[in-house]
Structure 1
């Protein structure tokens, strides 16, 4: 059980800033070639069952290192992976180490990291994990929170319902097209551009708009001789010329992809355009485009339409302190505690399974 006696035993040798310094590296991990450190890591992994074991590596997750940070005693999660004969240590959000056998002269603090981790593991075992729960700071924990609690601007519920009904009615019409030319495709993209960027699109031709906002890697699409020929556009589309290019990314994004508008493809049972968004920073533009296509009665389907509306209405979850497309970083401050803490659904803190 956890009590004050356990807390008195909780005396970290290192500060958090020393740990940052010891594990800092711009690329990859800092390698430590030391038999004494290697033996300590081997001893540490020997007290716990692996979390995952494959043909190539063995992984132990949810070890903890006690450190001093801003006048408080806290513990930082880390994992160990053994690959071939080396250990790879990953301190969450902090840094990485590679521990190999060798006799290099090293700073004594590298031994202290794993001596402290071993000592703290005994406390974790004795308290049934409670000391870790009490001491891991919330900026090192993960969880989830609904977007409505962290987003600056939300789509009203009535607007979400209205857009869903508009789109459902559009789909019920089962509009189709038998094929398009490049001019047809660019003109449809122009409907999208004018809806999302009315001021910037004013006075521009369909081709000029495409060149302004699209990815640019058109894969030979703009080299078609007759923009008004359906056969030529469909012939290019069926060719391998544009493999690896992004001709249909009508709004470019540096992060992942922006907005795509795929032309109709009867060969695959899709006699309609397909509108999609990958980077949700463009979700609002995507909805404006969909609304315009509905108004113009252009045959199209919108990928993940419900999901995009849920995001804009704040109903989608953001991960907290984890790597994901929708991510929220929790800062352990009074402001964040008052504003966000009660809305976060924290993940259960895990500890290694001791042998």
Structure 2
């Protein structure tokens, strides 16, 4: 960077030392929300780790900076799609106006930190903030969104909700079996494949469950196809990792292929603390595969076989729109963004604020926004 900009970085870091920070492990973190000369908002995060400072333009495209002892300031190695975009910008052009505006803002906070933070909370753009919104309001207001309940159908939706409300999935006998063979597992698979068949998918119902598993599953079966499919003892040894044909590194339960979060598992495992039973459970975290998994569960249950499904109460909430939608800042990808919300908040699906379209005015009052970070001067005696 230019000498004057390197100097400005270190002046900024010296001035930041007069403000409180968040401590996460060995990181010391300052979040600065400020306006530039054109009244545009920015969020810069400064992290101090060991002897190095890192500057991140959280909601913009300035490349990240590393400030090391001795006055060295250099762009960070880019990571992720946004990092690669930011890396194309000249660091001096990107940071020179930001550094000046940040230092002006620190002086403003020093004078009246409550007023400065109030202005940030009131003025920071909503499309860059994180929050939650009741799903029912989104379903009622925004047309054209994918609906799991519509995909599943009224009858199947009601049947699954009734199962959950009856306490079925909470009873051990409903979701576990005392013994299981590979052949019996493949019977489960056949029921699942037929019930979960999509309109554009061909499933030959004359095939055996084993043949269907070989055709539709991930393929990395860890030896499941190699053991005696009629032996419950061999299956038990295989589950427990004692069978000589058991390998590792595969995905034996991935009965319907997909990405890391878009496949469907029909998993079998020992209940915690027990070696006398097997729990059988469908797992389909992706919204686009959930209706398919529910159809599978209903078909297996209708055949009189025990079956569980991951987070049944959560699935019920999603079908009835009793969960919440996560609102994600515009600068963040939606991929796996639901994982960034605490589980207790009931977020399974996410969207950007702009996705609310012309219904933003109606829905904004119902959004519970996450608090923005405050910048507070250290007490004068510290």
Q: Secondary structure at the match of 2:258?
A: coil
Where in structure 2 are there 5+ consecutive unaligned residues? 75-89, 140-144, 330-336, 340-348
CA distance 1:74–1:107, shift in 2 (3 Å): closer
CA distance 1:78–1:109, shift in 2 (3 Å): closer
Q: Is 1:58 the equivalent of 2:28? A: yes
Contact preservation (8 Å) 2:65, 2:73 = no
Q: Is 1:81 the equivalent of 2:42? A: no
Residue aligning to 2:72: 102
Task: Describe the superposition over 1:255-308 as per-residue Cα deviations: whole angstroms up to 9, x where unpaired.
Answer: 336322223648535444222233333211121111111111102232311111
Residue aligning to 1:5: none
What is the rounded CA distance, in whole Å, between the counterparts of 2:73 and 2:159 in structure 1? Answer: 70
Task: Describe the superposition over 1:67-105 as per-residue Cα deviations: whole angstroms up to 9, x where unpaired.
Answer: 47xxx7331222110122221122224345123222889
State the shift of 1:239 in Å: 1.9
What is the rounded CA distance, in whole Å, between the counterparts of 2:43 and 2:91 in structure 1? Answer: 23
For these two proteins, the number of residue pairs brought into alignment is: 319
Where in structure 1 are there 5+ consecutive unaligned residues? 1-30
Scaled by the length of structure 2, the TM-score of the pair is 0.72
Contact preservation (8 Å) 2:180, 2:278 = no
CA distance 1:345–1:213, shift in 2 (3 Å): farther
Contact preservation (8 Å) 1:255, 1:279 = no
Contact preservation (8 Å) 1:180, 1:264 = no
Contact preservation (8 Å) 1:320, 1:328 = yes
Residue aligning to 2:221: 218
My pick for the range that moved more, 283-292 or 113-122, is 113-122
State the shift of 1:108 in Å: 5.9
Scaled by the length of structure 1, the TM-score of the pair is 0.77
Residue aligning to 1:259: 264
Over aligned residues, Cα RMSD in angstroms?
Answer: 3.3
Residue aligning to 2:130: 142
My pick for the range that moved more, 40-49 or 287-296, is 40-49
Where does 1:301-312 land on structure 2 (aligned, <5 Å)? 301-312=308-319
CA distance 1:111–1:211, shift in 2 (3 Å): same
1:152 to 146, 150, 154: 146
What is the rounded CA distance, in whole Å, between the counterparts of 2:256 and 2:100 in structure 1? Answer: 53
Residue aligning to 1:17: none
Residue aligning to 2:7: 36
Residue aligning to 1:242: 247
Residue aligning to 2:82: none
Q: Secondary structure at the match of 1:202?
A: coil
